[in-house]
Structure 1
Amino acid sequence: MSDTIRRTGSCLCGGVQFSVSGAPLRIGLCHCKDCRKAGGSVYSAFAIWPREAFETTGLVSSYGTRSFCPTCGGRVAWVDDNEAEVTIGSLDIAPTDLVPEYELWTSRRETWLHALPDTEQFEHDRPAAHDAEVPTPRSLSDADAAE
């Protein structure tokens, strides 16, 4: 994947636009309770870029580090000081060439979903050792910790 590629995306109504540049740091699926609730789906497919590769325009609201459009409620990104996590489905061009490398929170995966072939499987979050240079974007939520 080229480091010069620029991808664009938006919320459902188009009021919030964003772009990411270069190759993502990592690509994955997550089955945790937070992702399920935030997206209203049984898992979330996402790609993570360095924070400096992410740009956005338009008015956004946020819930913690998750941002969304205040007009349509469409999810925009999960952003912290180091990284920006973009849901693959919010990108303008589909299908993409972004292929998940791992799955998180497989302990919450629906029984009728199967593990993606050739991907790392994590019962919960990825171990910190996998992210020596870049912190993991999700921390164990109180809701998931209780389960």
Structure 2
Amino acid sequence: MKLSGGCNCGQVRYELDGEPIRVGICHCETCRKESGSAFSFFGIWPRASATLSGELGCWQSRAGGDRFCPKCGSSLFCWSDDSDEIEIKLGTLDGPPSALMPGYELWTIRREPWLAHQTGAEQHMRDRQDSDG
């Protein structure tokens, strides 16, 4: 699988080679505020599978370093310096992310009551390592 994407203005571009390790949805406050939506839809790939170009801005969140385009403000990636994984915001893909189905949901205690859970996806009240999901 080869995918590509980028920011709204085109200054930042990326290519992904291979399948994601996992795909998820997060309903936490940080993801809601960062995405400007009721949840964040993301995929995790090995960092070595991602080729990035363009200038990135960074701010630190609980998940690591959130990377964005400093020109248009599009949020694109997240990674920690001590991890070999990169989180890609799936709404930034060039094509629709229809084939990438969420395998889990995080922070379901904050899911909007009008938003149904994803059928077949693991449910976690908080982060994935929690056993209360």
TM-score, normalised relative to structure 1 = 0.81
Q: CA deviation at 1:96?
A: 3.0
One-letter code aligned to 1:35: C
Unaligned runs of at least 5 residues, structure 2: none
AA at the equivalent of 2:48:
E
Structure showing the higher strand proportion among its residues: 2
Match in the other structure for 2:68? 68
Tell me how far apart the structure 1 counterparts of residues 130 and 7 of structure 2 sit (CA, whole Å). 31
Runs of 4+ off more than 6 Å: none
Which structure carries more helix by proportion? 1
- Distance in 1 separating the partners of 2:39 and 2:76: 16
Query: 2:11 maps to which residue?
Result: 15
Query: Which residue type is aligned with residue 49 of structure 1?
Result: W
C-alpha separation between the residues in 2 aligned to 1:82 and 1:34? Answer: 22
Cα offsets for 1:27-55 (capped at 9, x unmatched): 01000111001111110000000111111
Alignment map for 1:92-103 (pairs within 5 Å) = 92-103=94-105
In structure 2, the CA distance between the partners of 1:24 and 1:18, relative to structure 1 (3 Å rule), is same
Q: Matches of 2:13 and 2:37 in 1, distance apart? A: 22
Q: Alignment length, in residue pairs?
A: 125
- Partners of 2:97 and 2:68 in 1: CA distance: 22
1:104 equivalent in structure 2: 106
Deviation at 1:128, TM superposition (A): 7.0
Matched residue type, 2:67? S
